[in-house]
Structure 1
Amino acid sequence: MTRPAVALAVALAAAALPSAAQDRTKDTPPVATQHAVTLGGKKVEYAATAGTLVLKDEDGKAQASVFYVAYTKPGADPATRPLTFCFNGGPGSSSVWLHMGAFGPKRVALTDDGQPTPPPAKLVENEGSLVDLTDLVFIDPVSTGFSRAADEKNAKQFHGVQEDLTSVGEFIRLYVTRNNRWGSPKYLAGESYGTTRAAALANHMQSKLGMRLNGVVLVSAVLNFGTIRFDEGNDLPFPLYLPGYTATAWYHKKLAPELQTSLTKTLAEAEAFAAGEYQQALFKGAELTDAERKTIAAKVARFTGLSEEFVLRNDLRVEGQRFMRELLRDRGRTVGRFDSRYLGRDSTDAGERPEYDPSYAAVQGTYTEGLNSYLRGELKYESDLPYEILTGRVQPWNYGTASNRYLNVAPALRTAMAQNPDLRVLVANGYYDLATPYAATKYTMSHLANDRGLLGRVTMTYYEAGHMMYVHRPSLVKLRADVAAFLQKG
């Protein structure tokens, strides 16, 4: 193609698209379609709407266009029909994972153990969907999905802890107001950084917007970032990651025979060691004797499948990426971060860290294909914008008052629960999650408050899968049952 032809093609394409001002300062009229899905042997009818809501300042100036997909039950009484707002994390993730993997009426087809099917992606009815129990609204925060700032030069005003709370909270307020749902039972469901958002949002919505919640679902949670950051001088993550290492080594049969019999029994032993001898040894630092150091290294090796020599070379502190690279080095494989059941292969076997995360590579393409096909095909929503699945457009993320310390939103959740005695929390954990390890979440929740009555409103559930436990079909079925029981408590 000649240069003039290229220029003409670009000009024609630009003319065919709505201008940025038109696209981002007016609500996209929601596209409504009618559907049905079979859940538990019963046909469930639902309406789907896909569109955008424009967030404006009090002078009426558009600030951002937020894309959403909502599923509602026709004719349901809004006074009794629950309404659940769902989002993922990142920061920089769209809601595609909870939408097309966990709770939406359709999911991306995978094998039962979570492996992708050959391209192109295919969609199936989602037996894990919650559409029979609650209306669902999947939100894409600004700069993810089809959501965009009205003026891209000012997009950074949405890219931060507090900025994100304000914009997502405003979307929820606007949706609830326009759809006359103030009288409905209301829930939040977040995954990964979406749990950080959900925990803080529970308090924000109550204190700033006067909107109380009935419950919060936290999928693969991180509320206290000090539990997962392998920084010099921060020993906390090492004992909290160790049980996740144990689960991974158990899955890949790298443990001693007596530890390979029962996963839960072995994990109980690993947790006791991590919280006791191991944590105490790390606390002692250089005061450990050579004999003590060798004893602890042998026990860390026993529970992780690593060699004692490797543990000693790492000063008893094996950072996550190093574990993922080392565990199966003798087999020429790496293990996944989001889900350590998945195996990768680097260009050489000499690296210190994996070259990529095989558990993310397994789902990124198939979910992107599936979501784009679904929106345009089944939901009839058209946009020429690229749907940002997991984007770097939100970086650098503004951590605000947490810039020089670890972000910790657990106190915000505790405040919301203390001031709202009817607020309940469900926390879903994957044993093979090396991004937000289950033991770190247990630690955070056990330190949430001294009030056992408050902690009695927290339900912890566990799955033999990873960060996105719903890609494992048995875990998807269990997650559906656990969340359904949580919702049905009212």
Structure 2
Amino acid sequence: MRLSHRTVSIALALALSAFAAPGAAQESEDKPAAEKEAGKPIPPPQVSVTRHKGVFGGKTVSYTATAGETYLKAEDGTPRASIFSTSYVKEPRDPSRPVTFLFNGGPGSGSVWLHMGAFGPKRVAIPSDGTDDGAPPYPIVDNPDSLLDVTDIVFIDPVGTGFSHALGKTDPKDFWGVTKDAESVAQFIRLWLNDNGRWNSPKYLGGESYGTTRSAAVVNQLTGAYNDVALNGVILISTVLDFGAGADTPGNEMVHVLNLPSMAATALYHGKAQASSTEEFVEEARQWAIGPYATALLKGNDLPAEERAAVRRELSRFTGLSEQYLELADLRVEPSRFYKELLRDRGLTVGRLDARYTGRDYDNAGERPDNDPSFYGIDAGYTAAINAYVRGDLDYHTDRSYVTIGRVGPWDWRLGDGRDSDAYLNVAPYIGRALRENNQLRVFVGQGYYDFATPFFAAEYSLNRTGMPDDRIHFEYYDSGHMMYVRDEDRAKLSADIREFIQSR
């Protein structure tokens, strides 16, 4: 229920110091816009404040929604970028109440997915059963699964996503990279804490997909120096931290080991494998993958024929693919081939983000799908919802288009932290260090069984390495894919799991 609204403009200052898989390499739409605006005076940040009431987690909450721009400035005070965010703060305000900062991934994705799908006070109601979202109108409904009963929430759109963009003569590429992006998000968080008087509040940071990569990099920016912003928790949803281990590159055997349990879950879901439960089957697949399968792959051309035949039989049982196909693939099935081959006999492909979804290609002869049915099955509903909601309920008006998935390339994947890590990108050590240096920091990890963009076994692997205090890392699993909250039962479970995570501090 909206009680009133007012639109205000404020000037915010920031001294700017110093997302599964690598992003799109297309030329950005943001740069031409910045060039057009380079000769124009930069107006003050636009901010809209509205007041609302809703029921979340069974509790009635009055809250203020603030949708608007924050300007990141150079040391000389020149605005360099506009960061769009949406903040939900419970009234009356309590400086000791937790605040959670959330973003999505890509890189290049706005926060629309977590905002309008999982944790915002409103959500778009698209089909929950793996069918596509069709055509508008899409219902925008109250979201009782929002976390506003236990935490204030700030949804952040990094530069090049949502309504966020570079200003004046600033090149948006100055913000496009693992470290550059993390620096700007960390600076936004510090400024938000300044302006809202929340430095002593419990703080949580969370992201989805590349947003988990960003989370690790932002943790490093917030806690890796002496002027720390200490965190109580990090929320990782559909996790990708170790890009080297999961790279679909010839000669990388680890990727096949890490994808095998997801293939097993998918084969079981579509009736191509037999087991008493998903949990038992994926656990069996985990153990076989790191045992006989990994051993066979590492033996390479020295693998004996008898052992090869035994591995091929088991691999067929887990993946639902024929032994003949697996022999042709040399026991190594790329995920993109799996999407096409698993249900070829039915004329269907399976999704990458969520393998519960199926699609039909132009024909059934190719070796890879034409498109991902689990993405085109949801994107229209989310795009319509965020634009209708922000411009309507939140009373924020702009002539800019909301960028759900932006073109933020080229992306700088170098970490530049002095480690020999630029050729093998792995940000998991940032989380390990933060856990070692903050004995109250905890990590929540949520993974879908049918997610090939960020496979659950790869997340487990990256957070189970040397230097990782795993007694404060908690995993939860969902019977869906990358965006588990599109399934009604899993959205409720995800909300309950994170609510418990926050309340158990």
TM-score (norm 2): 0.89
- The equivalent position to 2:245 in structure 1, one of 218, 227, 230, is 227
1:399 and 2:416 correspond? no
Change (3 A) 1:37 1:113: farther
Q: Could you tell me how far 1:111 is from its partner in structure 2?
A: 2.5
1:324 maps to what in 2? 339
2:277 maps to what in 1? 262
1:184 and 2:197 correspond? no
For residues 447 and 48 of structure 2, the distance between their equivalents in structure 1, rounded to whole angstroms, comes to 35
1:470 maps to what in 2? 485
Change (3 A) 1:45 1:308: same
1:303 maps to what in 2? 318
For residues 57 and 406 of structure 2, the distance between their equivalents in structure 1, rounded to whole angstroms, comes to 36
Q: What pairs with 1:254-293 in structure 2 (closer than 5 Å)?
A: 254-255=272-273, 259-293=274-308
2:462 maps to what in 1? 444
Q: Any conservation in 2 of the 1:27–1:53 contact (CA below 8 Å)?
A: no
Q: Could you tell me how far 1:363 is from its partner in structure 2?
A: 1.0
Q: Any conservation in 2 of the 1:50–1:70 contact (CA below 8 Å)?
A: yes
Q: Any conservation in 2 of the 1:25–1:64 contact (CA below 8 Å)?
A: no
Q: Secondary structure at the match of 1:299?
A: helix
Amino acid of the residue matched to residue 291 of structure 1?
E
1:106 and 2:135 correspond? no
Runs of 5+ consecutive residues of structure 1 not aligned to the other structure: 1-18
Amino acid of the residue matched to residue 405 of structure 2?
L
For residues 187 and 42 of structure 1, the distance between their equivalents in structure 2, rounded to whole angstroms, comes to 21
Q: Could you tell me how far 1:28 is from its partner in structure 2?
A: 2.4
Q: Could you tell me how far 1:482 is from its partner in structure 2?
A: 0.5
- RMSD over equivalenced CA pairs, Å: 1.7
- The equivalent position to 1:162 in structure 2, one of 179, 183, 191, is 179
Q: Any conservation in 2 of the 1:220–1:467 contact (CA below 8 Å)?
A: yes
2:497 maps to what in 1? 482
Q: Secondary structure at the match of 1:385?
A: coil
For residues 40 and 474 of structure 2, the distance between their equivalents in structure 1, rounded to whole angstroms, comes to 42
Q: Could you tell me how far 1:118 is from its partner in structure 2?
A: 4.0
Q: Any conservation in 2 of the 1:68–1:140 contact (CA below 8 Å)?
A: yes
Q: Could you tell me how far 1:213 is from its partner in structure 2?
A: 0.5
For residues 439 and 26 of structure 1, the distance between their equivalents in structure 2, rounded to whole angstroms, comes to 48
Change (3 A) 1:25 1:182: farther
Change (3 A) 1:148 1:43: same
1:92 and 2:138 correspond? no
For residues 123 and 392 of structure 2, the distance between their equivalents in structure 1, rounded to whole angstroms, comes to 14
Q: Could you tell me how far 1:463 is from its partner in structure 2?
A: 0.5
Q: Any conservation in 2 of the 1:111–1:117 contact (CA below 8 Å)?
A: no
Q: Could you tell me how far 1:152 is from its partner in structure 2?
A: 6.3
Q: Any conservation in 2 of the 1:25–1:65 contact (CA below 8 Å)?
A: no
Amino acid of the residue matched to residue 338 of structure 2?
F
Q: Any conservation in 1 of the 2:81–2:170 contact (CA below 8 Å)?
A: no
Amino acid of the residue matched to residue 241 of structure 2?
L
1:347 and 2:362 correspond? yes
For residues 163 and 263 of structure 2, the distance between their equivalents in structure 1, rounded to whole angstroms, comes to 37
- The equivalent position to 1:367 in structure 2, one of 382, 402, 407, is 382
TM-score (norm 1): 0.92
Amino acid of the residue matched to residue 226 of structure 1?
G
Which structure shows the bigger proportion of residues in helix conformation? Answer: 1
1:411 and 2:426 correspond? no
Q: Could you tell me how far 1:223 is from its partner in structure 2?
A: 0.7
- The equivalent position to 1:138 in structure 2, one of 134, 144, 155, is 155
Q: What pairs with 1:75-90 in structure 2 (closer than 5 Å)?
A: 75-78=92-95, 80-90=96-106
Amino acid of the residue matched to residue 297 of structure 1?
R
For residues 469 and 266 of structure 1, the distance between their equivalents in structure 2, rounded to whole angstroms, comes to 20
For residues 41 and 87 of structure 2, the distance between their equivalents in structure 1, rounded to whole angstroms, comes to 20
For residues 214 and 40 of structure 2, the distance between their equivalents in structure 1, rounded to whole angstroms, comes to 27
Change (3 A) 1:284 1:27: farther
Runs of 5+ consecutive residues of structure 2 not aligned to the other structure: 1-35
For residues 338 and 467 of structure 1, the distance between their equivalents in structure 2, rounded to whole angstroms, comes to 5
Change (3 A) 1:130 1:86: same
1:42 and 2:43 correspond? no
1:69 maps to what in 2? 86
Number of equivalenced pairs: 464
Amino acid of the residue matched to residue 91 of structure 1?
P
- The equivalent position to 1:337 in structure 2, one of 337, 344, 352, is 352
Q: Any conservation in 2 of the 1:449–1:455 contact (CA below 8 Å)?
A: no
Q: Secondary structure at the match of 2:370?
A: coil
Change (3 A) 1:325 1:24: farther
